[in-house]
């Protein structure tokens, strides 16, 4: 029985070795350049001892399957982790202590396993020497000892696997830690308004909400969607369909002009992809699943696009990587009801254009502000009144370290509607997906991932129809004239 198989690539003074172990998916570490750590400290003939030293060395970070926050970071910053979790009003801070306790058990069991295996290795070496000398009887006695020791390894290995599984199960329940820039708060009312732009229109008497305008101008048939599929699956017709197509093309052109590379990804993803970006297990109840095939309909292009880089070792010169994609998106929106779901306000299927960046951790918050400006200018080109909010800890998504929401004012409904979120996930997703890059110094580092809507269509369409309505027609912003082929819907 092979009890220790680890696939690890490491370098000691230019010496490369390979190990195999299902416990870990990958290993990250600083190049060992210190004088107190040399190749001779890790005899290449004893792979288990070498791996044991790696496990115990504080400069080594193991990326476990489905792990979001790294165990080493949690162990070294217990109080800080708990404090940041309280910012997002996460009640189960006791999970942090549970993680440390389980990791203590894991280390103890690993040491037991390593100690026994070391004895097995020593005895195996003796057996070889005895056989070479023709001392067969003594060698057979040593073989009995080896067999006994190996039998004793089985329960240790089984318990180690149980502890590691329990550790992973607890880790995936921890959300990302909010940035120190994130304000405290529990509800959307606690979000911080950063700035507002545009002008709220003064509508003419008799102005209508978008669901009435959609019917009047034969743009969207909500009832037909109910017939074909169900509530939340509208059918776009004639100029309504043309407006959708015009917006998608305009958004993609706007993004690619800013240096984003366009992708057309699958709209079905496997479990590994959904876990990689954090939709699983947090949003499992909101995703449409195809259990027979182990696939999920995507809730956002963020999932397939970010996973393009999963398990990739990038070069520093490749960063930042900027990607954009249009996809239909699917969300169950369980628990939604009432006026907030009327018309285009909340759908189960909708179109969205996404932007994703993977970048150097030292630059990710500058990139976040760059992406916010990118989306803001896009909204300005649509001539819509908007505001930008920095979300408080209690209103942020499970995977985000910091999020800006964009809301557009719906003049006919007289309320703000969210049309985009732009977030920095820091290493939360890249740790899960093992998206790393090699610095010029040779150090391997987890990248930071960010994404945002640029833009989601339903509420943009709702606000375009409502805010630009005139008596007898609906005007369109100048930016859309060439894409739509006209300056109005009449």
pLDDT by position in tens, the chain (length 490): 233 333 333 333 332 233 333 333 333 333 333 333 333 333 333 444 444 444 334 333 333 333 456 888 999 999 999 999 999 999 999 999 999 999 999 999 999 999 999 999 999 999 999 899 899 898 898 899 989 998 988 999 999 999 999 998 999 899 999 999 999 999 999 999 999 999 999 999 999 999 999 999 999 999 999 999 999 999 999 999 999 999 999 999 999 999 999 999 999 999 999 999 999 888 888 999 999 999 999 999 999 999 999 999 999 999 999 999 999 999 998 655 555 789 999 999 999 999 999 999 999 999 999 999 999 999 999 999 999 999 999 999 999 999 999 999 999 999 999 999 999 999 999 999 999 999 989 999 999 999 999 999 999 999 999 999 999 999 999 999 999 999 999 9
Query: 3-state class of 128 per DSSP?
Result: helix
How far apart, in whole angstroms, are the C-alpha atoms of residue 369 and residue 360? 14
- How many Å apart are CA 63 and CA 60, to the nearest integer? 10
Q: Which two tokens stand for residue 332?
A: 């169950």
Domains (ranges, CATH) in the chain?
8-171 (1.10.287.40), 188-489 (3.30.930.10)
Distances (CA, A) of 18 to 51, 83, 337, 472: 10, 39, 56, 73
- Radius of gyration (C-alpha) of the chain in whole angstroms: 28
Q: Can you read off the two tokens belonging to residue 13?
A: 């003074």
Cβ distance 41 to 2 under 8 Å?
A: no
* Buried-state track 69-80, b at ≥16 Cβ within 10 A, e below 16: bbbeebeeeeee
pLDDT of residue 335: 55
CB 168 within 8 A of CB 68: no
H/E stretch holding 449 reads strand 448-456
What pLDDT sits at residue 68? 52
Residue 406 backbone zone (phi > 0: left; psi -120 to 50: alpha; other: beta): beta
410 - beta bridge partners? 415
Q: What is the pTM of this model?
A: 0.81
Check if the beta carbon of residue 352 is closer than 8 Å to that of residue 329: yes
pLDDT at res. 33: 31
360 and 448 Cβ atoms separated by less than 8 Å: yes
Which residues, in sequence order, are CB contacts of 319 under 8 Å at separation 6+? Answer: 358, 359, 360, 437, 447
What's the confidence (pLDDT) of residue 284? 84
pLDDT at 333: 81
How much of the chain exceeds pLDDT 90, in percent?
Answer: 76
Beta-carbon contacts of residue 350 (< 8 Å; ≥ 6 apart): 328, 329, 344, 456, 457, 458
């Amino acid at each position: 029985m092979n009890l220790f198989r680890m696939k690890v690539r490491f370098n000691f003074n230019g010496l490369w070795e390979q190990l195999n172990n299902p416990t870990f998916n990958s290993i990250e570490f600083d190049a060992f350049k210190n004088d107190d750590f040399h190749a001779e400290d890790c005899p290449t003939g004893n792979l288990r001892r070498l791996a044991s030293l790696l496990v115990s060395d504080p400069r080594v970070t193991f990326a476990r399957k489905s792990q979001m926050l790294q165990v080493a970071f949690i162990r070294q910053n217990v109080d800080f982790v708990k404090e940041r979790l309280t910012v997002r009003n996460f009640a189960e801070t006791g999970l942090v202590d549970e993680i440390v306790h389980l990791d203590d058990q894991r280390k103890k069991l690993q040491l037991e396993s390593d100690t026994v295996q070391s004895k097995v290795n020593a005895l195996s070496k003796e057996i070889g020497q005895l056989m070479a000398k023709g001392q067969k009887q003594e060698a057979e006695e040593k073989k009995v000892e080896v067999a006994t020791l190996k039998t004793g390894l089985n329960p240790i290995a089984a318990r180690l696997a149980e502890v590691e599984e329990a550790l992973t199960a607890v880790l995936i329940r921890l959300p990302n830690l909010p940035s120190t820039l994130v304000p405290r708060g529990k509800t959307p009312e606690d979000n911080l308004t950063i700035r507002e732009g545009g002008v709220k229109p003064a509508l003419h008497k008799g102005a209508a909400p978008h669901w009435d305008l959609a019917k009047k101008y034969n743009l969207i048939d909500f009832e037909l969607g109910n017939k074909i599929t169900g509530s939340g699956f509208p059918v776009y017709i004639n100029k309504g369909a043309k407006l959708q197509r015009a917006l998608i093309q305009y958004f993609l052109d706007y993004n690619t002009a800013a240096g984003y590379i366009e992708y057309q990804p699958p709209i079905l993803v496997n479990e590994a992809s959904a876990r990689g970006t954090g939709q699983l297990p947090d949003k499992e109840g909101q995703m449409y699943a195809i259990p027979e095939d182990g696939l999920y309909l995507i809730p956002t292009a963020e999932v397939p696009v970010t996973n393009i880089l999963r398990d990739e070792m990038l070069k520093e010169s490749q960063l930042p990587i900027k990607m954009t994609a249009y996809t239909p998106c699917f969300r169950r929106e369980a628990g939604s009801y009432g006026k907030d779901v009327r018309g285009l306000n909340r759908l189960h299927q909708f179109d969205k254009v996404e932007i994703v960046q993977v970048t150097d951790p030292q630059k990710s918050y500058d990139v976040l502000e760059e992406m916010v400006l990118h989306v803001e200018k896009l909204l300005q080109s649509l001539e819509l009144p908007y505001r930008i909010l920095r979300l408080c800890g209690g209103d942020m998504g499970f995977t985000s370290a910091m999020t800006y929401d964009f809301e557009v004012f719906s003049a006919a409904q007289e309320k703000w509607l969210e049309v985009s979120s732009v977030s920095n996930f820091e290493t939360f997703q890249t740790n899960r997906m093992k998206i790393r890059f090699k610095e010029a110094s040779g150090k391997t580092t987890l990248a930071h991932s960010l994404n945002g809507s640029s833009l989601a269509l339903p509420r943009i369409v709702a606000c375009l129809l409502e805010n630009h309505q005139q008596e007898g027609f609906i005007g369109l912003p100048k930016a859309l004239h060439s894409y739509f082929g006209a300056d109005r819907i009449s």
